[in-house]
Amino acid sequence: MFDSDFFSKTSKTRPLSDVLHIVILLIIIKLLKTFGLFITYDLLKSYHLVLILFLTTLFTSICLLFIQKPFSSFRPSKALIYRLIKYTICLTIMRLLWLFGLTLCGPLRTILLFEHSDIVIIACFQVLFSSSFSGQQGHTSRIRGVVFFILAVLAIFAFDNDDSRQNIDHPEGHLHHRFVAHIFYQLTSLIGVADHKGGVILLLIALFFRCAINSWSKKLVLDIGGPKKFYAITTCLSTICLIPMSFIILLVNNLFPDSIDSIRSTFQTTISTSTTSSLFDNISSLIIPIILMTVFIFISDFYVEQLSVVKLDRIRTFRYGTLTMIFSALIVSFVWVKTIRVTSNNVWFGRMIQVEDHELSGGVVFAVVMFAFATDLLLSPIKQRSGAFIGYNQEGVPLFNLTQQKSQSLLLILKSSLRDILAESDSRRIFYFLCINLMFTFVELLYGAWTNSLGLLSDGFHMLFDCTALVVGLYAALMSRWKPTRVFSYGYGRVEVLSGFVNGLFLIVVAFFVFYEAMGRLFEPPEIDTNRLLFVSVAGFAVNMIGIFSFSHAHAHAHGGGGGGSCPMSQPAPTKEQHHHGHSHDAHEHSHSHSHNSGHDHGHSHGSSEKSSHQEHSHTLTDNANMRGVFLHVLADTLGSVGVIISSLLIQYFGWNISDPICSLFISIMIFLSVIPLLKESAMTLLLQTPSNIQYEILDRILKLDQVQSYSDEHFWNLSSSVTVGTIHIQITNDGDEQRVTAQVQTILKEAQIQNIAVQVEKQAFFNHLNGLNSALGQLASSQRTFSRR
């Protein structure tokens, strides 16, 4: 319970091989602490949490008094005593919240939500709310860790089907016999959540409260004389605070006159055995678990953590400890399955209560994975930022240029991303429709959960899957506008093509499974409940029609552009005889002079032009594969809604159950046929296919230029929907002007909307020289070119 994160200085990091025995000891103690929490949970099913906490702190105080002897040289002032009392009260409240959350959520969920270092919580708040975090190194891993942490909490709160409380009627059910639990139940009922979801909130409050009081007590620890002495004193004071509370609990529950022997409870496992009430049973069911709790949770865990912080460091101590508890709790939960039968003879425990343990769910398993990633990222050591020395300023202070980029907080990154999204029409359309789709999805999920409609929940998760396609398209639209880097020198424009191809593959998979399922239902149509189905389908159709109108321009461009990669040439395509590749176009003979006495010129020019000056969106460019993929996803959903509406009407008024698989067959076929062009065009773009008309009209125009004899090594391909790249070698006469020819070739290629151009101009004299070197050295054969007179 006591976090030494703020009470110990970080020692110098040592190699793992030197402190392996400390790591093994830490892992063993964390395994025992996990086991102790499961014992505590079982004990809380029979006894009041205040009594359990009092007995545990009492035994812990007795042990610490013998070990530490904290009051032997303790001479506190009145102000120090007042501060100690305030901290002790806060510590006791935090521990009570922790135990109450344990009774509501079970040991596994309690470990997942509460057993985190204060470093993790502070890192989360720094990333989310602190602007000072923007200059720290390692910000990317911290942001990912915070995202994983939030996803894990949401998974437990929203997707954890913990039904252990829902099978028992209120108010006579499990735990509701107690006054505080009854009040808590009333509070959770007001906000419309179950007991265990309220327990999740309670554990998070306890976690934040613990982090706050540990931060507040750092100076108090120094004034007391160290963390060990401070822990012993506060534990003893906490025991004193719990004495009146325990007395009140015993009095209220009518247990005081009969002593503790009147609290009888028998733990029946799957192999139940008959037991008789005896002194040995009372000791084994209460005293022994209390001793194990004291040793495993409050004594050994604290001292081993202190040792590990000194021998290892704080980061590695809490990293290994938290990960050990998370995974060990998951493993123990598979085997720690019991049915508890609680029996009591007092007015509050008036009858036998049978309680099922908290079962595992998919949300909890997902949360385990997310918490593990979050712990690993948030407790990873941060490397120091390096920099290059660049000189001194006027005052003689050395100046360094940091090699890492300055980071930003998560809120600033989100603001910047939102600004980039709204700056361009395609990403803006995707974002608006994504917001509408998400709102409809969550309304459908909430209404389905409220009405317990499996059909609405299934359709809601289907819509949620469709939203992932929109997120992929939105991220691709953002990445396509990123600036080129040293690694990605052409930029990220091709991400849009890749996104369209991936979305097309997803739609193929969807069409295949819809077709397969429809074929199975065609011969044996199942009974379909049309209640609420027609309403949901009409609402989904209305939402999807918004997307159809928003993204219809992508579909129109796909049909108006004449296919992907075409160039805006109105002339008819030349014949095969008119297509000249690296050879002469007149009747003159080839001239190959091997004379080396003449000078040679070698013009080599790479021109990279800016984007086309046309302000309008031309249909002759490669259509945006990313937007087409998004449009086809929306179109598939719209067809699905239409099919459901038609089949619902036919089933409701005519009883034709076969209409559902028939509509599904037509929809799957239509989806498949509409996706094929997108897959074909995006695949050809990814495979660097040469746009068809470039080989004829543009090359003919280049060949007709003055001083141009031939061309070779021409390569043209579509980099993205708006950028076409071209490289070409031009052979000119010996008296030709390289710069003039280069400018003319670039102008022709720019008119064909080829934005990224590289032109290499070559002369006969230069290759005469290369031919001489080739005959002398037997190499450079690939550099030969064919020249001729015009």
Task: Annotate 442-471 with b (16+ C-beta within 10 A) or e (fewer).
Answer: eebbeebeeeebebbbebbebbeebbebbe
The residue range of the domain holding 639 is 416-568+619-686
- Range with lowest mean pLDDT among 122-131, 256-265, 508-517, 692-701: 256-265
Tell me the pLDDT tens digit for each residue of 331-380. Answer: 988 877 544 444 443 333 333 344 445 667 777 888 899 999 999 888 87
CA distance 783 to 770: 8
Instruction: State whether 662 and 777 are in the same domain.
Output: no
What is the pLDDT, as a whole number, of residue 210?
Answer: 93
Single-letter amino acid code for the residue at 604: H
Average pLDDT over residues 590-616: 38
pLDDT at 734: 83
Rounded CA-CA distance 158/200 in Å is 10
Is pLDDT at 272 greater than 60 in this prediction?
A: no
The reply to whether 552 falls in a domain is yes
Distance CA 311, CA 4 (A): 14
Q: Distance from CA of residue 768 to its chain's centroid?
A: 61
Amino acid letter, residue 309: V
- pLDDT for 303 equals 92
Q: With cut-offs at 50, 70 and 90, classify the pLDDT of residue 788.
A: very low
Kindly state whether residues 296 and 311 are assigned to the same domain.
yes
For range 210-219, the mean pLDDT: 89
Same domain, yes or no, for 436 and 545? yes
Please indicate, yes or no, if residue 431 is contained in any of the structural domains.
yes
Q: Look at residue 659 in the predicted model and tell me its pLDDT.
A: 80
- Per the model's pLDDT, the better-predicted residue between 473 and 534 turns out to be 473
Residue 78 has pLDDT above 60, yes or no: yes
Q: How far is C-alpha 348 from the geometric centre of its chain's CA atoms?
A: 47
From 669, 686, 703, give the residue that closes a domain. 686
- Residue 590 is classified by DSSP as B
CA distance 662 to 644: 11
pTM of the predicted structure, to 2 decimals: 0.54
Task: Describe the chain by its helix, strand, coil percentages, rounded to 5.
Answer: 60, 5, 30
Phi, psi of 384 (to 5 degrees): -70, 145
pLDDT digits (tens, 9 = 90+) for 685-694: 888 888 776 6
Provide φ and ψ at 646, rounded to 5°: -65, -50
Tell me, what CATH number does 722's domain have? 3.30.70.1350
387 or 669, greater pLDDT: 669
Q: Is residue 394 part of a domain?
A: no
Contact 89, 241 (CB under 8 A): yes
Both structure tokens of 35:
């086991």
The answer to whether position 578 is within a domain reads no
pLDDT of 424 higher than 90: no
**Mean pLDDT (whole number) for 591-607:** 38
Residue 350 φ/ψ, nearest 5 degrees: -75, -10
Specify the pLDDT at position 233: 92
Instruction: Tell me which of 266 and 64 has the higher pLDDT.
Output: 64
The predicted-structure confidence for 501-553, as pLDDT tens digits, reads as follows: 888 888 888 888 888 888 887 777 777 666 666 777 787 788 878 878 877 65
| Most confident listed range (92-106, 185-199, 656-670, 698-712) | 92-106
402 falls within a domain? no
Q: What end-to-end distance do the CA atoms of the chain give, in Å? A: 92
Q: Are residues 764 and 703 in the same domain?
A: yes
My answer on whether 141 and 114 are in the same domain is: yes
Q: Which residue has the higher pLDDT, 435 or 413?
A: 435
Are residues 249 and 324 both part of a single domain?
yes
> Residues near 556 by Cβ (< 8 Å), separated by ≥ 6?
none
Hunting for tokens 């030349």 — which residue is that? 574
Token code pair at residue 396: 């003689």
The letter for the amino acid at 716 is F
| pLDDT score recorded for residue 85 | 92
Rounded to whole angstroms, the Cα distance separating 355 from 214 reads 36
Residue with tokens 């099919």: 643
Specify if 595 maps to a domain. no
One domain, residues 663 and 696? no
**Please, are residues 555 and 759 in contact by the beta-carbon 8 Å criterion?**
no
Confirm if 113 and 211 have CB atoms less than 8 A apart: no
Rounded to whole angstroms, the Cα distance separating 519 from 7 reads 67
3-state secondary structure of 756: strand
Average pLDDT rounded to a whole number, residues 28-46: 91
Same domain, residue pair 608 and 635: no
- Res. 240 pLDDT band, cuts 50 70 90: very high
Task: For residue 481, name the pLDDT band (cuts at 50, 70, 90).
Answer: confident
Q: CATH code at 625?
A: 1.20.1510.10
Rounded distance, CA 136 to CA 124, Å? 14
Distance CA 387, CA 670 (A): 58
Count of domains for the chain:
3
pLDDT on residue 673: 83
**Residue after which a domain boundary falls, among 686, 702, 731:** 686
Question: Domain for residue 522, yes or no?
Answer: yes
Query: Within 10 Å of residue 393's Cβ, how many Cβ atoms?
Result: 8
Q: What are the structure tokens assigned to 634, written together?
A: 């929306």
Query: Is the distance from CB of 500 to CB of 625 less than 8 angstroms?
Result: yes
Model confidence at 423, in pLDDT bands (50, 70, 90)?
confident
Q: Per-residue pLDDT tens for 51-60?
A: 899 999 999 9
**Is beta strand 724-732 parallel, antiparallel or unpaired with respect to 756-763?**
parallel
What pLDDT is attached to residue 440? 82
pLDDT surpassing 70 at residue 167: no
Other beta carbons within 10 Å of 689 = 15
Q: Give tens-digit pLDDT for 722-765.
A: 788 888 888 888 888 888 888 988 888 888 878 788 888 888 77
Mean pLDDT of 141-153: 87
Give 608's pLDDT tier (boundaries 50, 70, 90).
very low
Report the C-alpha gap between 44 and 449 in whole angstroms.
31
Pairwise pLDDT comparison (504 vs 7), residue with the higher score: 504
What whole-number distance in Å separates Cα of residue 181 and Cα of residue 190? 14
DSSP string, 192-220: T--HHHHHHHHHHHHHHHHHHHHHHTHHH
pLDDT tens for 171-193 read 434 444 455 665 666 565 555 55
User: Is residue 606 scored above 50 in pLDDT?
Assistant: no
On the question of pLDDT at 385 being above 70, the answer is: no
Structure tokens given for 367: 């949360």
254-258 average pLDDT score: 43
Q: 364 with 452, same domain?
A: no
Tell me the percentage of the chain whose pLDDT exceeds 90.
14
Neighbouring residues of 22: CB distance < 8 A, sequence distance ≥ 6 = 307, 308, 311, 312
Q: Does 171 sit behind a cis peptide bond, omega within 30 degrees of 0 on the bond before it?
A: yes
Exposed, middle or buried: residue 297 (CB in 10 Å: 0-12, 13-18, 19+)?
A: buried
**Co-location of 303 and 321 in the same domain:** yes
What the block records as the tokens of 669 is 């076929």
Q: For residues 463 and 590, which has the higher predicted lDDT (pLDDT)?
A: 463
Q: What is the helix (H) or strand (E) element at residue 661, kind and residue range?
A: helix 659-686
Hey, how many other C-beta atoms are within 10 angstroms of the C-beta on 751? 14
Name 711's bridge partners.
730
The pLDDT of residue 588: 37
**Do both 648 and 679 map to the same domain?**
yes
- Between 727 and 586, the higher pLDDT residue: 727
Look-up: residue for tokens 């259509």?
A: 623
Whole-number Å distance between alpha carbons of 639 and 663: 9
Same domain membership, residue 260 and residue 127: yes
Which residues, at least 6 apart from 595, have a Cβ–Cβ distance to it below 8 Å? 768
**Among 632, 653, 686, residue at a domain's last position:** 686
With respect to residue 395, please indicate whether it lies within any of the assigned structural domains. no
Counting Cβ atoms within 10 Å, is residue 203 exposed (0-12), middle (13-18) or buried (19+)?
buried
Inter-axis angle of helices 533-560 and 454-479, to 10 degrees?
Answer: 20
pLDDT in the model for residue 46: 82
d(CA 103, CA 174): 10
**418 versus 586: which is more confidently predicted?**
418
What residues have CB less than 8 Å from 365, skipping those under 6 apart?
330
pLDDT at residue 609, rounded to an integer: 39
